[in-house]
């Protein structure tokens, strides 16, 4: 008998000067970067939250507290890898991930395939099991004003 669990994740980070813009494990050339305790990769944070949520393991803030100085500047790829490892130890595997990046700028299209490959590798799945898309907010709100970037993700876990 198979068991299925679905999780949803969302993350938002402010765009600021003098920070790298890393999304989906890809460093994107841009004059602004994302502010956060880690490398502030909104996409990997949303996926991490979705995976942890699907397994009922809380969220990224509990797994990697922002006041923990020992993990300051940690790669979001490492955070996703550690979270996936916890879920895997419970007997789950990722069936698929679907994610959306919300950003007015920079443009994401040139980097989407590399993002998918990075996520698939960390989660030990095929690239075809990962979907990443990007959209704008038509210049509305903090995203439209280029003050921040957000991402949402859903993940389906399977336990056999």
Q: How many domains are there within the chain?
A: 1
Residues spanned by the domain of 21: 3-157
Per-residue pLDDT of 80-95, as tens digits, reads: 999 999 999 999 999 9
Centroid of chain to Cα 47: 4
Question: Do the beta carbons of residue 114 and residue 26 sit within 8 Å?
Answer: yes
Per-residue pLDDT of 72-125, as tens digits, reads: 889 999 999 999 999 999 999 999 999 999 999 999 999 999 999 999 999 999
Question: Do the beta carbons of residue 160 and residue 111 sit within 8 Å?
Answer: no
Q: Is 38 annotated as a binding residue?
A: yes
Q: Is 160 annotated as a binding residue?
A: no
Q: Is 138 annotated as a binding residue?
A: yes
Q: What is the CATH number of the domain that holds 70?
A: 3.30.1330.50
Residue 133 bridge partners (DSSP): 100
pLDDT for res 73: 87
Q: Is 136 annotated as a binding residue?
A: yes
Q: Is 145 annotated as a binding residue?
A: yes
Per-residue pLDDT of 4-34, as tens digits, reads: 999 999 999 999 999 999 999 999 999 999 9
Strands 22-23 vs 92-102: parallel, antiparallel or unpaired: unpaired
Per-residue pLDDT of 50-70, as tens digits, reads: 999 999 999 999 899 888 888
Q: Is 70 annotated as a binding residue?
A: no
Question: Do the beta carbons of residue 8 and residue 100 sit within 8 Å?
Answer: no
Beta strands (DSSP E) in 28-112 are: 33-34, 92-102
């Amino acid at each position: 008998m198979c068991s299925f669990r679905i999780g949803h994740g969302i993350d938002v980070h402010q765009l600021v000067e003098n920070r790298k813009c890393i999304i989906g494990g890809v460093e994107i050339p841009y004059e602004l970067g994302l502010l956060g305790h880690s490398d502030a990769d909104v996409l990997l944070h949303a996926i991490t939250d979705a995976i942890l949520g699907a397994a009922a393991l809380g969220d990224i803030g509990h797994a990697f507290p922002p006041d923990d100085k020992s993990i300051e500047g940690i790669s979001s790829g490492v955070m996703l890898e550690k979270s996936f490892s916890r879920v895997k130890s419970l007997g789950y595997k990722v069936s698929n991930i679907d994610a959306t990046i919300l950003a007015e700028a920079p443009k994401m299209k040139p980097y989407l395939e590399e993002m998918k490959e990075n996520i698939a590798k960390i989660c030990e799945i095929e690239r075809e099991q990962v979907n990443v898309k990007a959209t704008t907010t038509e210049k509305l709100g903090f995203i439209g004003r280029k003050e921040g970037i957000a991402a949402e993700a859903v993940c389906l876990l399977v336990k056999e």
